[in-house]
Amino acid sequence: MIKKIIFISGASRGIGLSIANYFAEIGHTVIGTSRSDFQFEKKLPNLMSYKLDINCRESIQSCIKYLKREEMLPNILINNAGITSDQIFLRMKDEQWDDVIATNLTGTFNLTKAFTKNMVKNKFGRIINISSVAGLMGNAGQVNYASAKAGLGGFTKSLAKELGSRGITVNSIAPGFIETDMTSFLNNDAKNNIMKTIPLKRFGIVDDITNAVSFLASDEAQYITGQTISIDGGLFMH
């Protein structure tokens, strides 16, 4: 098995943490980031935490210089960092729109642009964007979030067309309702109402997303690019 260097944004909890732990446990080098200081609970020599604001391009350049010096430039990039700031459109503040677009869409652009050059040089790379079913079907109260995630779909398709000839695949995963901190605020009645709309009648777990990411990062997925894969229990069917 070829050891890969994997860079994951938003790795301090939830889906990102699950992905980081998985790849580190099977022997790959993993750099996980968060905008706040954090440490992974699992103490593995190939699992490194890094404080990074993906909205700050200067910080990203400093990170690249460090990784280059340590010979740890990634060949797999997982854009997972994301935030929500929900509000009905007529009450949504400008900063709620700006902050969500900046992190969920512009932050992905910033990281991807920074790391793609090395992938092109090596004629190999995997870029995996964590989107959301909200970007596919819309969601009331999430005009900002759904717009950012829908934009990520266009970003994925367009970049896949540009980088395919360089040996780089670009794909997106659109989770539905997953048991994480981002859904923990829902009360039982709300969860039950949502489950009625899901054919599999349950929320997903982080391993459901990690398994899909593992596949897209593998050699078995080398002929898949420009795709958005929904992991949502059948909530949204294309």
Model pLDDT for residues 176-214, shown as the tens digit of each residue = 999 987 787 788 898 999 999 999 999 999 999 999 999
Q: Give the catalytic positions in this structure.
A: 145
Which residues contact residue 41 at a Cβ distance below 8 angstroms, ignoring those fewer than 6 apart? none
Asked if the model's pLDDT at residue 238 lies above 90, the reply is no
Q: Would you place residue 149 in the very low, low, confident or very high pLDDT band (cuts 50, 70, 90)? A: very high
The pLDDT value given to residue 188: 87
pLDDT (tens digit per residue) in 27-80: 999 999 999 999 999 999 999 999 999 999 999 999 999 999 999 999 999 999
- 193 found inside a domain: yes
Burial profile 50-84: b = 16 or more Cβ within 10 angstroms, e = fewer = bebbbeeeebbeebbeebeeeeebbbbbbbbbbbb
pLDDT of residue 203: 95
How far is the C-alpha of 230 from the C-alpha of 235, rounded, in Å?
9
Q: Is residue 112 part of a domain?
A: yes
Count of structural domains within the chain: 1
pLDDT at 2: 60
Q: Binning pLDDT at 50, 70 and 90, where does residue 20 land? A: very high
Query: Is 88 among the domain residues?
Result: yes
- DSSP-assigned beta bridge partners for residue 48: 31
Give yes or no for residue 173 having a pLDDT over 60. yes
pLDDT score of 1 more than 80 = no
Residue range of the domain that includes 73: 5-231
CATH number at residue 53: 3.40.50.720
Provide, for the chain, the percentages of residues in helix, strand and coil under a 3-state DSSP scheme, each rounded to the nearest 5.
45, 15, 40
As a whole number of angstroms, the distance between CA 12 and CA 2 comes to 26
pLDDT digits (tens, 9 = 90+) for 187-196: 889 899 999 9
pTM for the whole thing?
0.96
- H helix intervals, the chain: 14-25, 57-69, 94-101, 107-122, 134-137, 143-163, 188-195, 206-217
Has residue 85 been placed in a domain? yes
